[in-house]
Amino acid sequence: MTNDLFIFAARNKLRFASTKGELTAEQLWDVPLRSRDDFNLNTIAKAASKAWKDVSEESFVETAKTVAHTRLETALEVVKYVIEIKKDEEDAAEKRTKNKQEKEQLLKILAEKQDDKLSALSEKELQRRIAALGE
């Protein structure tokens, strides 16, 4: 299904409105999720959603999808997919950072405990261990 979205986007030359001009599907990957200006995926998704809703106005007589409807619906799905993947990547990076910090903290505590254990050795035991290590 995902491949179909991007194949459709490429074959139909879908473009996505942004504050910096129209973007291709592959350029969406370079757009940040959030930003201080309006150049972000959220703004692009809102514009795609509005365009799709405008063309999808409810009709009780005409129920078939038009070409424009299909293009806009697919464009919205492409942007939503890129957002989903980028959010997953962001979450994974955040988890890696937290794990790294916790590991560093645990290693520090382990080193302190090992130091305490060595400090508890008697003078003779310390001299014996030093001698066993050699030069």
Tens digit of pLDDT at every position of the chain (135 positions): 678 999 999 999 999 999 999 999 999 999 999 999 999 999 999 999 999 988 877 666 777 778 888 999 999 999 999 999 999 999 999 999 999 999 999 999 999 999 999 888 899 999 999 999 986
Report the largest interatomic distance among the alpha carbons of the chain, rounded to a whole angstrom. 97
Give the Cα separation of 46 and 41 in Å (integer). Answer: 8
pLDDT at 60: 67
Q: What is the pLDDT of residue 1?
A: 66
Dist CA 104 CA 100 (whole Å): 6
Encoding tokens for residue 47? Answer: 């514009």
